[in-house]
Chain A
Amino acid sequence: MITILGGGPGGYTAAIRAVQLGAEVTLLEKEEVGGTCLNWGCVPSKVFLKGSKMYSQLKFAESYGVFAKPSPFDMRRLGERKNEVKQALVMGLKNVLRSYGVNIVHGEGRMIDEHTVVGPGGNIACDKIILATGCQPEVPHLFQELSVTYKDVFQLQYLPRSVLVVNGGVFAVEMAWFFLELGSQVTMVAENVLERDFEDIETRIASYLQNRGVKFVQGRIASIKKQGEQKLVEIGEEEIIAEELIWMNRKRVLEGIPRKLVQHESVAVNEHMQTAFPAVYAVGDITGSYTAGDAMAQGVVAAEHAMGNTTAYNPRTVPKVLYAPEAAVIGLTEREASEEYDVVKGNFPYGASGRAQTVGAIRGRVTILADKKYGEILGAHIVGKGASELIQLIGFAMRLEATIDELSSLLCAHPTMVEMIRDAGLDIHGNAFNLPRK
């Protein structure tokens, strides 16, 4: 019997996998299955980005002979569309869980010892526990009144003409991009534009944002004052005016978890996702990772290990994606790689790709890092259209431990974006088909 706390990507993936391996599973969820990802994160934000992209693309349509005048953007309609998608996915997920016989308990749970969770109906005794309580928005108490969180953005009834996005990271950049595409004035206050995983492309992304008019500010918010419909925000020397302040900060939900398992505000785990109690596992955001992809990968590992397999989690082969402006990374960064390996690097610019040219996506680049000695694929970063899907192929090759030469032996339909992966691999030896001779 396995009890899982939290029905986000970490929790529901673990539940399904555990049942597949023969376990009986109880899943406690206090709000809605799907967690942040389906309800307040990945899914809503991607629907929003689809809307803003269509809007901004009307401009480019003219060069393809399409003339259309954009009407004022309707946030409410977009919100409805988002709800439809979300509902469809939540319903689908519930059906899947039900088909596996996962016992879904609606309500808050709390772990009281290694083999007991207290739920709304009393104690639940179990052999193993998987903690997957995820994250919640966080705004300093002082500023709560005049701020909104990422959750609130997905419920906005109007389009603010100026926003201040507080904090950096992939999801904050996506948020900024959404408003940019809709023509709003965007300011970002952040120490780093993106997470460490993205360090090889961070400056590139920052310059995209800057070229589109994003203003970057560093420092702490000292005060927020109301000024008519707007807010006046004091950050160091600067004063920023914005209609909405959007806090992207997230806090790990650790309430139902014994303090003993918590270190530096996250739950400490080993490679099998086991906590300090061997019968208790933790997966997803509470372990310190920050994407749904990691949460799901960890969920599988925890379930398999709890059922007696020796699976281990390898964060290196989980891709990280920025949906807009589109980019993706996997594996080691150049700095990390060069600390351990003699690194060789292959590049391919989008402009040289037939497919990228035909779809008008000439801005971008594929870079693959490999070990010179054995040809191990160490990592990759892609900026440009299709990056979010292209990166998966490299991830797959890494998981199979294919060498760079095998990756570059890919046979492709033409013209396709994937050809760029092959050519970036070939470029390591200066043999790319679509680049001039070196």
Chain B
Amino acid sequence: MKMVMPKMGMTMEEGTIVEWKKREGEFVEKGEIILEIMTNKVNIEVEAPASGFLKILRGVDDVVLVGEVIASIEEKVPEAVEKAEVSRAMEDVPWKEPEFKPVRQEREVVEISVQEERTPASPRARRVAEDYGVLLENVRGTGPDGAVTEGDVLSYVGKRKSQEAFQSGLPGVSPLAERIAREKGIDLSRIKGTGLEGKITKEDVFRYMEEREKPERPRMQKELEPEKPGIEKEREPEIPRIEKEREPEIPRIEKEREPEIPRIEKSSEIELEQAIEKPMIRPEPVSQLPPIQTGATLAEPEHRVEEPIMHLEKPLGPEPEGKTLPLTGIRKLTAERMSRSKREAPHLTLGMDVDMTEASNLKTSLAVTYTDILVKAVALALRTHPQLNSTLSENRIVLRDTINIGIAVARGEDLLVPVIHRADALSLKKISQATADIIERTRKDQLKDTDVLDGTFTISNLGMYDIDFFTPIINPPEAAILGVGRITPRPVVVRNRIEIREIATLSLSFDHRIVNGVPAALFLKEVRNLLEHPYRLLMEEEP
């Protein structure tokens, strides 16, 4: 009777053979557990469909489609088995199998031949070896002519004991490694641990991820593929993750999961068009940047991108004509994130004029930049408006406990958002140092992954490109983004008189699922207040 890979659930398409609980040729009873398979990371025990002798057709670790034959249950002892038994009998003396008469015959012969070339050993050594079930050949003899002594056996046993102490059979995993694996969506059963008794450590997880990232691993890719649909949600593509020493700026998480999308497909640029839903202005550089040299940097992304990163749905309709640019690297990631943001988060944008005259004075007297002042003002305002510093996570609004301000910075064609962590706790001077440093490193391509992680709010300044007003797109999973327009002298009414003041227009886009209009407006007002009375930004408080 043939035995097939059973379907153990609605979604199961294939299963992996984890362990045969019965040996080839062994007699199995109907209903007895004979096999363990794994599907969707769950191990399932499988019973024998009939009684008879087991003939195994697919081995451990084989991935088998549902319905394919994996074994058969025969009425007679399968032929090939008899030979196999002989060799097993040699390694594994105590095992007995009364069913097979002829086999037993041969086994005795084998035993005698072992006896003949026996290892020299003292009688006491033999006794002790028998007590402990030790094979004398494995013990190094230190007695006369290399004979094994009682002491040799005991120290061999001691060695084995101390090495095998408390071996539980189930290698553990450290809590830290488990936490990291869970977040990265890694299947721990694929990792070999190097800790005590094979325990999986943090390093093991990282090493596994690193290895997995290397290209040319078709098998891996196949394994990972089925995860795609389920994982999409929790993947939470954060800010591009930039690896410190590994290949720079291929966002790690994404790359692991979806490695085999064809590279530069002709349709890529349409995907981009679709993805960004028509010319939204995409957040661009901050004030300190020199104009972008498009020509020189255009080629740059190409060499970085060994593998495609994002999966964008194929658009319908005819292909448009025109010159095409490959959608790769960070551009591709930006496209995905922006489209996701617009798709998922109902955007609402509020605009407000702010008088930057005082801020401009402060800028000159302290030799800081507008960006520094903005970061500080926004960070302080977020303290009293935590809703704007939050994340929507599975129908819950998570108020983030730190205030980490991202600054949209252009590097060549790319847009990156390095983060000033805990900006609210930093003095203006510290912020100024931090932004100068991080912008410099962004431009030099020296960002570390920690520099772009954990942003809670983004500021995008297009003032130096003469943009007065724009509607920025929220940087997911954040709740809001502040756009900053050009600062220009404008006539305004101050105490019933017309004065010339330095005015800029702020635009706050926010996720309407998280924040309503009024609190957002209040927040924006608070930001304006701080910017118009910027000396409040200088008041240091004790952390």
Residues of A within 8 A of B (CB): 19-22, 24, 309-310, 341-342, 372-376, 400-403, 406, 429
Q: Which of B142, B158, B174, B194 contacts A401 (CB 8 A)?
A: B174
CA distance A403 to B176 in the complex (A): 6
A374 touches B421 (CB 8 A): no
- Complex A-B, nearest 9 residue pairs according to Cβ-Cβ distance, in ascending order: A401-B174, A22-B159, A401-B176, A403-B175, A20-B162, A402-B175, A376-B176, A22-B155, A374-B179
In the complex, 10 of the A-B residue pairs with CB atoms within 8 angstroms, ordered by the A residue number, are A21-B159, A310-B194, A341-B450, A342-B450, A342-B453, A342-B454, A372-B454, A374-B176, A400-B175, A401-B195
Would you call B177 an interface residue if the criterion is a C-beta within 8 Å of the partner chain's C-beta atoms?
Answer: yes
* Contact of A376 with B194 at beta-carbon distance under 8 Å, contacts A401-B177, A402-B174, A402-B176 already known: no
CA distance A402 to B201 in the complex (A): 10
**Majority secondary structure of chain B interface residues (helix, strand, loop or mixed):** helix
Nearest-Cβ distance from residue B423 to partner chain A, whole angstroms: 13
A375 touches B454 (CB 8 A): no
* Bitwise interface map of B from 137 to 160 toward A, beta carbon under 8 Å scored 1, else 0: 000001000000000000110110
CA distance A244 to B318 in the complex (A): 94
Nearest-Cβ distance from residue A5 to partner chain B, whole angstroms: 23
A22 touches B176 (CB 8 A): no
Residue of B nearest to A407 (CB): B175
B454 touches A406 (CB 8 A): no
Q: Which of A310, A342, A376, A406 contacts B421 (CB 8 A)?
A: A342
**Majority secondary structure of chain A interface residues (helix, strand, loop or mixed):** loop
Q: Which residues of B contact A21 (CB under 8 A)?
A: 159, 162-163
Q: Which residues of B contact A429 (CB under 8 A)?
A: 401
Would you call B180 an interface residue if the criterion is a C-beta within 8 Å of the partner chain's C-beta atoms?
Answer: yes
Residue of B nearest to A401 (CB): B174
Q: Which residues of B contact A400 (CB under 8 A)?
A: 174-175
Residue of B nearest to A312 (CB): B194
A401 touches B450 (CB 8 A): no
A375 touches B176 (CB 8 A): yes
Would you call B437 an interface residue if the criterion is a C-beta within 8 Å of the partner chain's C-beta atoms?
Answer: no
CA distance A398 to B177 in the complex (A): 12
* Contact of A375 with B179 at beta-carbon distance under 8 Å, contacts A20-B162, A21-B163, A401-B202 already known: yes
Q: Which of B176, B194, B421, B450 has the most CB of A within 10 A?
A: B176
Residue of A nearest to B244 (CB): A340
Nearest-Cβ distance from residue A33 to partner chain B, whole angstroms: 22
Would you call B183 an interface residue if the criterion is a C-beta within 8 Å of the partner chain's C-beta atoms?
Answer: yes
Q: Which residues of A contact B421 (CB under 8 A)?
A: 342
Nearest-Cβ distance from residue B276 to partner chain A, whole angstroms: 30
Nearest-Cβ distance from residue B428 to partner chain A, whole angstroms: 21
A22 touches B158 (CB 8 A): yes
CA distance A416 to B175 in the complex (A): 26
Q: Which of B155, B195, B201, B402 has the most CB of A within 10 A?
A: B155
Nearest-Cβ distance from residue B357 to partner chain A, whole angstroms: 37
CA distance A375 to B202 in the complex (A): 12
CA distance A310 to B193 in the complex (A): 12
Interface residues on B, range: 20 to 34
Q: Which of B159, B175, B177, B201 contacts A406 (CB 8 A)?
A: B175
B453 touches A373 (CB 8 A): yes
Q: Which residues of A contact B162 (CB under 8 A)?
A: 20-21
Nearest-Cβ distance from residue A353 to partner chain B, whole angstroms: 23
Q: Which residues of B contact A406 (CB under 8 A)?
A: 175
* Bitwise interface map of B from 182 to 220 toward A, beta carbon under 8 Å scored 1, else 0: 010000000000110000011000000000000000000
Residue of B nearest to A398 (CB): B176
CA distance A401 to B453 in the complex (A): 23
CA distance A373 to B183 in the complex (A): 10
Q: Which residues of A contact B159 (CB under 8 A)?
A: 20-22
Nearest-Cβ distance from residue B455 to partner chain A, whole angstroms: 12
Q: Which residues of B contact A373 (CB under 8 A)?
A: 453-454
B175 touches A401 (CB 8 A): yes
Q: Which residues of B contact A309 (CB under 8 A)?
A: 163
Nearest-Cβ distance from residue A82 to partner chain B, whole angstroms: 35
CA distance A232 to B290 in the complex (A): 64
CA distance A22 to B154 in the complex (A): 9
A20 touches B158 (CB 8 A): yes
Q: Which residues of A contact B202 (CB under 8 A)?
A: 376, 401
Q: Which residues of A contact B177 (CB under 8 A)?
A: 401
Q: Which residues of A contact B158 (CB under 8 A)?
A: 20, 22
CA distance A339 to B453 in the complex (A): 15
Residue of A nearest to B173 (CB): A401
Nearest-Cβ distance from residue B405 to partner chain A, whole angstroms: 14
Q: Which residues of B contact A24 (CB under 8 A)?
A: 142
Residue of A nearest to B163 (CB): A21
Q: A20-B162, A22-B155 are in contact. List 4 more A-B contacts (CB 8 A).
A: A342-B450, A401-B177, A403-B179, A429-B401
CA distance A406 to B174 in the complex (A): 11
Nearest-Cβ distance from residue B404 to partner chain A, whole angstroms: 9
Residue of B nearest to A405 (CB): B175
Q: Which of A375, A400, A429 has the most CB of B within 10 A?
A: A400
Q: Which residues of B contact A375 (CB under 8 A)?
A: 176, 179
Q: Which residues of A contact B183 (CB under 8 A)?
A: 374
Q: Which of A19, A403, A406, A429 has the most CB of B within 10 A?
A: A403
Nearest-Cβ distance from residue B10 to partner chain A, whole angstroms: 34
Nearest-Cβ distance from residue B541 to partner chain A, whole angstroms: 14
Q: Which residues of B contact A341 (CB under 8 A)?
A: 450
Residue of A nearest to B450 (CB): A342
CA distance A341 to B448 in the complex (A): 10
Q: Which residues of B contact A22 (CB under 8 A)?
A: 155-156, 158-159
CA distance A400 to B175 in the complex (A): 8
CA distance A67 to B202 in the complex (A): 56
Residue of A nearest to B404 (CB): A342
Nearest-Cβ distance from residue A385 to partner chain B, whole angstroms: 28
Q: Which residues of B contact A310 (CB under 8 A)?
A: 194
* Contact of A374 with B180 at beta-carbon distance under 8 Å, contacts A310-B194, A342-B453 already known: yes
CA distance A372 to B422 in the complex (A): 12
Nearest-Cβ distance from residue B246 to partner chain A, whole angstroms: 15
CA distance A406 to B179 in the complex (A): 12
Q: Which residues of A contact B201 (CB under 8 A)?
A: 401
CA distance A376 to B178 in the complex (A): 11
Q: Which of A310, A342, A406 has the most CB of B within 10 A?
A: A342
Q: Which residues of B contact A372 (CB under 8 A)?
A: 402, 454
Nearest-Cβ distance from residue A122 to partner chain B, whole angstroms: 21
Nearest-Cβ distance from residue A408 to partner chain B, whole angstroms: 12
Q: Which residues of A contact B194 (CB under 8 A)?
A: 310
Q: Which of B175, B201, B454 has the most CB of A within 10 A?
A: B175
CA distance A373 to B174 in the complex (A): 16
Nearest-Cβ distance from residue A437 to partner chain B, whole angstroms: 14
Residue of B nearest to A22 (CB): B159
CA distance A375 to B178 in the complex (A): 12
CA distance A374 to B450 in the complex (A): 13
CA distance A401 to B158 in the complex (A): 29
CA distance A154 to B156 in the complex (A): 44
CA distance A342 to B452 in the complex (A): 11
CA distance A105 to B54 in the complex (A): 62
Nearest-Cβ distance from residue B495 to partner chain A, whole angstroms: 43
CA distance A376 to B453 in the complex (A): 17
Q: Which residues of A contact B402 (CB under 8 A)?
A: 372
Q: Which residues of A contact B180 (CB under 8 A)?
A: 374
Nearest-Cβ distance from residue B65 to partner chain A, whole angstroms: 38
Q: Which residues of A contact B450 (CB under 8 A)?
A: 341-342
* Bitwise interface map of B from 425 to 463 toward A, beta carbon under 8 Å scored 1, else 0: 000000000000000000000000010011000000000
Q: Which residues of A contact B401 (CB under 8 A)?
A: 429
Nearest-Cβ distance from residue A391 to partner chain B, whole angstroms: 19
CA distance A20 to B175 in the complex (A): 30
Nearest-Cβ distance from residue B367 to partner chain A, whole angstroms: 26
Nearest-Cβ distance from residue B299 to partner chain A, whole angstroms: 33
CA distance A21 to B158 in the complex (A): 7
Nearest-Cβ distance from residue A216 to partner chain B, whole angstroms: 30
CA distance A374 to B449 in the complex (A): 14
Nearest-Cβ distance from residue A276 to partner chain B, whole angstroms: 25
Nearest-Cβ distance from residue A365 to partner chain B, whole angstroms: 16
Interface residues in B378-421 by Cβ distance below 8 A to A read 401-402, 421
